[in-house]
Amino acid sequence: MSVPAPPRATIRAVALPPPAADRAYLEQGMAALQDVERAIEPNRLPGPAMAAPHVAALLQEAAASEGLVLIAENADGPCAFLFALVEEAFGTVVDPRNRRLAVISDLWIEPDARGTGLVEALIARAEAHASAAGLARIEVSALWLNARAQAAYRKAGFAPSLVTFAKAL
């Protein structure tokens, strides 16, 4: 069994609130991520239209929820990010010991940094953060037609748990 080489990048937690350069990278990456998803799911806004307010909301929620924001950097500068939030499962269906969970809401790897092990490395950092916070579960979602993201999450040890069906009206 071959093990991927460790990423040639460093991963660091982003200060909340972040410095201007980090915020600018998060917004730029979020716009790119959104445009990739918009090509798959047309109900998405264009990346530049949603990036700044979405990043602002995620940063606020991360700060309020024991969440985590990570940026990976290689020799060329920032090359990836991950937002992980802590959420509470709604209702009484889930066992109370598992109601608080980590949710990876957004993950982006720059095209030239893909295939370097960054997905696994970022997720491992998010898992360690969640475990240290006493959480027993971490979740991530992907668009149904985003096979690349689904393959990356499976490779990182995730398995399907819930399928959401949608219908345009």
Q: What's the whole-number average pLDDT of the chain?
A: 92
Q: Over the stretch 129-167, which tens digit does the pLDDT of each residue have? A: 999 999 999 999 999 999 999 999 999 999 999 888 888
Q: Which pLDDT score is estimated for 90?
A: 84
With cut-offs at 50, 70 and 90, classify the pLDDT of residue 6.
low
The position carrying tokens 């668009």 is 143
Q: C-alpha angle 55/86/46, rounded to 5°?
A: 25
Report the distance separating Cα 31 and Cα 139, nearest Å: 22
Pick the closest to residue 69 from 6, 12, 139, 10 (CA basis): 12
Q: Which pLDDT score is estimated for 2?
A: 43
Q: Over the stretch 32-62, which tens digit does the pLDDT of each residue have? A: 999 999 999 999 999 999 999 999 999 999 9
Q: Which pLDDT score is estimated for 71?
A: 98
**Phi/psi at 28 (5° precision):** -65, -50
Pick the closest to residue 58 from 90, 86, 99 (CA basis): 86
The position carrying tokens 């290689």 is 74
Q: Is the pLDDT of residue 5 over 50?
A: no
The mean per-residue pLDDT over the stretch 10-35 comes to 97
